[in-house]
Each structure stands twice: as C-alpha cells, then as structure tokens.
C-alpha cells in the first residue's frame, strides 16, 4: 500500500511522524473516512466539507477543497482497491517540545491511506445493540481523532455481546460509537438532530435525502430511550456499514427481529445510488 504523508507518497513502513506531533501527544487533530466504490469516491464533496469544518473548529489553517480532491484521486490511483475506505488525518502539526499551547507557528501533519471495504448489495442481517450512557465530550460534531470515549463504549458494548452501543445523555438518544441511529414509527423516520452531541454522518445526510425522495416523512428531533420500546424498526448508518438493521436493543426485540420494510426500502435506495455512481 502507498500512503500520503506531508507531500510524499511512501510505504507505511517508511512513514515517520515526530513524537512531538500534537496529534500523537494531545489528539489535537481531525479525520475523515470516505467510501470508494469501483474506484470512485462516494459523496466526496460532503466529506471534504465536513473535514474543512472539523479542521476549522480546532484552528487548523484552511486548506483548499481542490487539494483534497487531488489527494483522494491520486491515493485511489496509486493503490489497488476497487472498493475501499480512504482515511485522511490532519493534525495541528509537530512542535519542538511538548507544550499545551504551540510554541511556534506549525504546519499541519497530513496523512492519508486506503484500506479495503466490503460493499453491501443485500441488506445485512440485523444486529444487537446495547444502550449505554454517553460519556464523551460536548463537541461530538467535530470529527476528532480523540476517540477514547468512543473506544471505551465500543468495548463495553462488545462485552455485552452487542455490535454497537446506542448512546444517550440523561435519557436523550445521541448516536453510536461510530454510527448514527434511525427509528421508524408508524411509517415515519426519526433521528436525533445534528447538534453538538452527535457527528452529522454523511450517510445520515444521504439517508435523510433518500427517505424524502421516497416520500417518507423525516423528523430530526430529540428522542428518549424510553421511546425505543414503542418503535417498529431501528437501523444504524455509517460510511463502512451503510444501512445496518438493528434487531435487538438490550433484551428488547425490535419488531419481529427481522429487517423492517422501511429499512429495506431505504437500504435498496442506498444500493441504487451506489450503482448509479459506478455507472456514471
Ligand atoms: N458518528 C460517529 C461518532 C462516527 O464516528 C461516525 C463515523 O465513523 C458516524 C457517526 C457516521 O458518519 P458517516 O456516515 O459520515 O461515516
């Protein structure tokens, strides 16, 4: 595999980053993950806009969208994945010592690589999720490389035999450790609003658009965990999982435990949009 590091195209073995990099010391950085289908990036503009928003939020100097588009194109060209995930990481940069505030003007450390992706063409088998208290910080809208909270929650969910946690703050549903949630009730689609408590997923944005085009009413509004007992369908979304049905929440079986009709309809529309990209 060929990776990108600060202007160089090298193997991962040859890639070296300073121990004084603020990403390494303080997790002072942001990242992005972009799915690639048949060598074409999916919803690239939305991912680059989010990367720019995240970078701006932590004070990294603005980098032109064209720089990112060229970087992604070249990364796909230089690697052999037909279907993959592009990973981009951007940290505040490497200093000459460990200091909470940078001691001098720094230029960002930019790293990008590619890995393989299993593309779904059929709706996957429903998974179990575990309701857990969201212990993360209050700026989950930034796609920060500081993922300690997410990882601790993911481990706790795994211990409970769950695929993902379903997080809440004082009863209010937020998201998963690395995905967003959707519920279906009486034919309507519900998802928590894109505020500072969640990462506004690109898959989430796309699913909302697809649902609207299918004439499904979408409500972006706060939901309580108690309401989960009365929903007909639940699914989660992310760039790598696409549309993933949820069949069980703790001990509660959702619907009849199978993929619901509206989830299947949205998943099918999602597959169609991938086919459209590939055939363009
Ligand atoms: N929420 C969190 C915390 C995430 O880490 C992710 C992606 O990894 C998502 C939501 C889903 O975002 P996207 O659909 O852009 O992959």
Residue 236 lies in a domain: yes
Q: 238 alpha carbon to ligand 1 midpoint, in Å?
A: 5
**Where residue 270 sits, what CATH number does that domain have?**
3.20.10.10
Q: 237 alpha carbon to ligand 1 midpoint, in Å?
A: 8
For ligand 1, what atom is nearest to the CA of residue 33? 16
Provide the sign of the torsion angle of the four alpha carbons 93, 86, 163, 275, taken in this order.
Answer: positive
Q: Ligand 1 test: best mutation among 179, 239, 241, 266, most atoms within 8 Å of CB?
A: 179
pLDDT of residue 280: 81
Q: 85 alpha carbon to ligand 1 midpoint, in Å?
A: 13
Residue 76 lies in a domain: yes
pLDDT of residue 123: 85
> Longest Cα pair distance anywhere in the chain, in angstroms?
59
Tell me the pLDDT of the chain averaged across its residues. 97
Instruction: Tell which residue, 205, 178, 207, 194, has the closest CA to residue 141.
Output: 194
What is the Cα–Cα distance from 36 to 104, expressed in whole angstroms?
Answer: 37
Residue 121 lies in a domain: no
For ligand 1, what atom is nearest to the CA of residue 237? 14
Q: 39 alpha carbon to ligand 1 midpoint, in Å?
A: 21
What is the Cα–Cα distance from 239 to 32, expressed in whole angstroms?
Answer: 10
Q: Note if the pTM is more than 0.80.
A: yes
Structure tokens at 18: 């300073």
For ligand 1, what atom is nearest to the CA of residue 47? 15
pLDDT of residue 52: 98
Residues 108-129 pLDDT 10s: 999 999 999 999 999 899 999 9
pLDDT of residue 96: 98
pLDDT of residue 189: 98
pLDDT more than 70, % of the chain? 100
In this structure, the residues whose C-beta lies within 6 A of any atom of ligand 1 are 33, 150, 175, 178-180, 199, 201-204, 237-239
Instruction: Give burial (CB, 10 Å; 0-12/13-18/19+) of 110.
Output: buried
Spatial CB neighbours of 104, under 8 Å, sequence gap ≥ 6:
95, 96
Q: Are residues 59 and 132 in the same domain?
A: no
| pLDDT at 163 exceeding the cut of 90 | yes
**Band of pLDDT at residue 92, cut at 50, 70 and 90:** very high
Three-class DSSP labels, the chain = CEEEECCEEEEHHHCCCCCCEHHHHHCCEEEEEEEEECCEECCHHHHHHHHHHHHHHCCCCCCCHHHHHHHHHHHHHHCCCCCEEEEEEEECCECCCCCCCCCCCCCCEEEEEEEECCCCCCCCCCEEEEEEECCCCCCCCCCECCCHHHHHHHHHHHHCCCCEEEEEECCEECCCCCCEEEEEECCEEEECCCCCCCCCCHHHHHHHHHHHHCCCCEEECCCEHHHHHHCCEEEEEECCCEEEEEEEECCEECCCCCCCHHHHHHHHHHHHHHHHHHHC
Q: Are residues 42 and 90 in the same domain?
A: yes
Active site residues per annotation? 143
Q: Are residues 157 and 237 in the same domain?
A: yes
Nearest CA, atom 5, ligand 1: 178
Q: Are residues 131 and 264 in the same domain?
A: yes
Q: Are residues 246 and 146 in the same domain?
A: yes
Q: Ligand 1 test: best mutation among 180, 198, 273, most atoms within 8 Å of CB?
A: 180
Q: Are residues 49 and 97 in the same domain?
A: yes
Q: Are residues 84 and 148 in the same domain?
A: no
Residue 262 lies in a domain: yes
Q: Are residues 151 and 16 in the same domain?
A: no
Residues 36-74 pLDDT 10s: 999 999 999 999 999 999 999 999 999 999 999 999 999
Q: Are 228 and 175 in contact (CB under 8 A)?
A: no
Residue 56 lies in a domain: yes
Residues 186-231 pLDDT 10s: 999 999 999 999 999 999 999 999 999 999 999 999 999 999 999 9
Q: 7 alpha carbon to ligand 1 midpoint, in Å?
A: 27
Domain end marker among 75, 92, 116: 116
Number of domains in the chain: 2
Q: Are residues 110 and 159 in the same domain?
A: no
Domain membership of residue 232 as a residue range: 127-279
What is the Cα–Cα distance from 36 to 43, expressed in whole angstroms?
Answer: 9
For ligand 1, what atom is nearest to the CA of residue 150? 3
Q: Are residues 59 and 182 in the same domain?
A: no
**Where residue 98 sits, what CATH number does that domain have?**
3.30.470.10
Q: Are residues 131 and 258 in the same domain?
A: yes
Q: What are phi and psi of 151, to 5 degrees?
A: -70, -40
Nearest CA, atom 2, ligand 1: 178
Q: Are residues 144 and 108 in the same domain?
A: no
């Amino acid at each position: 595999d060929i990776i990108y590091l600060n202007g160089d195209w090298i193997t991962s073995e040859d890639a070296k980053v300073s121990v004084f990099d603020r990403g390494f010391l303080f997790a002072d950085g942001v990242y992005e993950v972009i799915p690639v289908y048949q060598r074409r990036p999916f919803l690239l503009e939305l991912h680059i806009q989010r990367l720019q928003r995240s970078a701006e939020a932590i004070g990294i100097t603005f980098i032109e969208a064209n720089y990112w588009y060229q970087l992604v194109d070249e990364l796909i060209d230089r690697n052999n994945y037909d279907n993959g995930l592009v990973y981009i990481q951007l940290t505040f940069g490497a200093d000459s010592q460990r200091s909470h505030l940078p001691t001098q003007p720094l230029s960002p450390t930019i790293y990008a690589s590619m890995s393989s992706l299993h593309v779904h063409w059929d709706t996957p088998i429903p998974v179990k999720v575990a309701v857990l208290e969201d212990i993360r910080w209050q700026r989950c809208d930034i796609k920060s490389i500081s993922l300690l909270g997410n990882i601790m929650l993911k481990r706790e969910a795994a211990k409970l035999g769950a695929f993902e946690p379903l997080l809440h703050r004082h009863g209010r549903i937020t998201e998963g450790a690395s995905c967003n949630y959707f519920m279906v009730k009486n034919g309507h689609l519900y998802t928590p609003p894109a505020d500072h408590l969640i990462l506004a997923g690109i898959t989430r944005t796309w699913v909302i658009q697809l649902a609207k085009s299918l004439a499904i009413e979408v409500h972006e509004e706060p939901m309580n965990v108690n309401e989960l007992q009365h929903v007909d369908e639940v699914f989660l979304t992310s760039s790598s999982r696409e549309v993933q049905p949820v069949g069980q929440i703790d001990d509660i079986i959702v619907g009849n435990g199978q993929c619901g009709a509206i989830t299947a309809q949205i998943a099918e529309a999602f597959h169609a949009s991938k086919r459209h990209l590939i055939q363009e």
